[in-house]
């Protein structure tokens, strides 16, 4: 397990998504990601659902009819892997829908999903801590668990989907708390990251999470937008996300709202080096 193996796998995954997009002649989008995930993880189909803060579910894309039916079944029944992944903040993994534990867990969903043509279902929350934006759901027509590598790839695809979804939400101002008009530019900047590849999520660093939390206060905004703006700042400064995060955590750097929220003018992210206020403790 090399230190960069998660990062290098994330690079490979973005390359697959970009290839899908290229064959379509567009920029990487949710359908490209779903198609790439189906091929890479060796599942029968995939669906991507956005879940709002109020719990409303929007089906963003499905790769086939069975995935579409699964999404519909869960919406109708209000039970299943998507609901569990949303509620508990971890994946819901059912490699065999006839398993007794699974039947007990989803007494209505499991038989309905089998009738729809699925034998195994795997749902992954699209999340970064308290940021929760949706679920990536995969299915297999034959009962078979995800091997460890496939599970890791599925988690990385979910990480990639999280970024795509976050940025598209920020761009369209639909995230429920990013109403200050700067989100669009911030999101747009980040999605144009080096090669469009937000690879830094492959390597988890507590400093990034801590800095995101600090930015909610500095920018007086929600956690999702704080994260998007952290990434946008790192991109515009051409710096590693982890390095910027460390500067924020050590209080060498503060991000500010420039001419204030609500104006929507000026640079998307106004950040400047301010003298250390000695507030580190």
Bridge partners for 50 per DSSP: 58, 134
Applying CB under 8 A, does 45 fall inside the site for other proteins? no
Applying CB under 8 A, does 42 fall inside the site for other proteins? no
Smallest distance, Å, CB 135 to other proteins? 13
First to last CA, the chain: 36
Applying CB under 8 A, does 88 fall inside the site for other proteins? yes
| Interface residue with other proteins, options 42, 179, 216, 236 (CB under 8 A) | 216
> What span, in angstroms and rounded, lies between the C-alpha atoms of 11 and 196?
10
Beta-sheet pairing, 92-94 with 120-128: antiparallel
Handedness of CA 270, 203, 130, 176 (dihedral sign): positive
Applying CB under 8 A, does 111 fall inside the site for other proteins? no
Applying CB under 8 A, does 199 fall inside the site for other proteins? no
Applying CB under 8 A, does 204 fall inside the site for other proteins? yes
E strand segments, the chain? 45-51, 57-62, 92-94, 120-128, 131-140, 254-256, 270-272
Phi, psi (deg, nearest 5) at residue 143 = -70, 120
Q: Which stretch binds other proteins (CB under 8 A): 27-35, 71-79, 184-192, 218-226?
A: 218-226
Q: Which is nearer to other proteins, 57 or 151 (CB)?
A: 151
Smallest distance, Å, CB 44 to other proteins? 18
Q: Which is nearer to other proteins, 3 or 25 (CB)?
A: 3
Applying CB under 8 A, does 240 fall inside the site for other proteins? no
Question: What Rg, from alpha-carbon coordinates, does the chain have?
Answer: 20
Beta-sheet pairing, 254-256 with 57-62: unpaired
Contact call for residues 49 and 71 (beta carbons, < 8 A): yes
Q: Which of residues 152-171 bind other proteins (CB under 8 A)?
A: 152, 155-156, 159
> What span, in angstroms and rounded, lies between the C-alpha atoms of 161 and 36?
11
Q: Which stretch binds other proteins (CB under 8 A): 61-69, 72-80, 151-159, 180-188?
A: 151-159
Residues of this chain that bind other proteins (CB under 8 A): 1-3, 5-6, 9, 53, 88-95, 99, 101-102, 125, 127-130, 145, 148-149, 151-152, 155-156, 159, 177, 202-206, 209-218, 222-223, 249, 279-281
């Amino acid at each position: 397990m090399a230190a960069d193996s998660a990062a290098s796998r994330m690079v490979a995954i973005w390359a697959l998504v970009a290839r899908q997009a290229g064959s379509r002649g567009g920029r990487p989008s949710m359908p490209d990601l779903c198609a790439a995930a189906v091929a890479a993880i060796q599942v029968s189909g995939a669906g991507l659902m956005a879940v709002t803060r109020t719990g409303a579910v929007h089906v963003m894309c499905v790769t086939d009819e069975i995935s579409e039916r699964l999404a519909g079944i869960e919406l109708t029944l209000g039970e299943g892997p998507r609901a569990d992944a949303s509620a508990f903040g971890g994946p819901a993994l059912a490699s065999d829908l006839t398993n007794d534990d699974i039947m007990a867990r989803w007494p209505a969903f499991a038989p309905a999903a089998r009738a729809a043509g699925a034998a195994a279902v795997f749902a992954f929350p699209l999340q970064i801590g308290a940021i929760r934006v949706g679920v990536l759901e995969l299915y297999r027509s034959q009962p078979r668990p995800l091997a460890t590598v496939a599970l890791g790839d599925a988690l990385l695809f979910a990480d990639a989907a999280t970024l795509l979804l976050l940025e598209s939400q920020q761009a369209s101002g639909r995230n429920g708390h990013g109403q200050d008009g700067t989100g669009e530019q911030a999101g747009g900047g980040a999605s144009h990251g080096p090669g469009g590849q937000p690879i830094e999520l492959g390597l988890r660093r507590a400093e990034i999470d801590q800095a995101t939390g600090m930015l909610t206060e500095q920018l007086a905004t929600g956690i999702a937008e704080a994260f998007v703006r952290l990434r946008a700042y790192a991109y515009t400064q051409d710096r590693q996300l982890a390095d910027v995060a460390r500067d924020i955590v050590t209080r060498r750097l503060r991000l500010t709202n420039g001419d204030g929220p609500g104006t929507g003018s000026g640079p998307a992210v106004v950040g400047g080096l301010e003298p250390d206020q000695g507030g580190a403790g």
